[in-house]
């Protein structure tokens, strides 16, 4: 899966802007590449959870479709830990075969990892620039 540096940096910037809360957003692209990351409002009132605003999700789907692209996945941050799926991430993931990008901010350098949700678990995906 291709993850362009500009998209990676946009997601990291969103994670840092939202810290100490989690950020969330939508990944736009094609079957082999992510071409954009669209910020979404986090409707969760918890500092360690996220809930993508449904209006932002619908808007991103419409805009992607109008551009001949698709929603290929979602992203969120872990402001105080590594970019590993939490138990809540697994329990609340609902879009099988979609990508899930997690940004961990536990260290100075952001930890960015990409996964595909297989229906029951997150499988690591190799991302290239």
Instruction: Tell me the catalytic residues.
Output: 22
Q: Report how far residue 75's alpha carbon sits from residue 26's, in angstroms, rounded to the nearest whole number.
A: 6
Q: If we measure between CA atoms, which residue out of 105, 94, 103, 106 comes closest to residue 127? A: 103
- Distance, C-alpha 53 to centroid of its chain: 13
**Other C-beta atoms within 10 Å of 102: how many?**
25
């979602």: which residue's tokens? 74
């Amino acid at each position: 899966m291709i993850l362009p540096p500009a998209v990676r940096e946009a997601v990291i910037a969103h994670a840092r802007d939202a810290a100490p809360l989690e950020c969330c957003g939508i990944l736009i692209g094609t079957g082999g590449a992510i071409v954009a990351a669209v910020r979404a409002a986090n409707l969760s009132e918890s500092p360690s959870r996220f809930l993508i605003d449904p209006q932002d999700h619908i808007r991103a789907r419409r805009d992607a479709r109008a551009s001949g692209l698709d929603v290929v996945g979602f992203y969120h941050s872990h402001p105080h830990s590594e970019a590993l799926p939490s138990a809540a991430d697994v329990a609340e993931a609902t879009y099988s075969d979609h990508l899930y990008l997690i940004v961990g901010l536990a260290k100075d350098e952001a930890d960015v990892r990409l996964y595909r949700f297989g229906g029951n678990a997150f499988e690591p995906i190799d991302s290239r620039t």
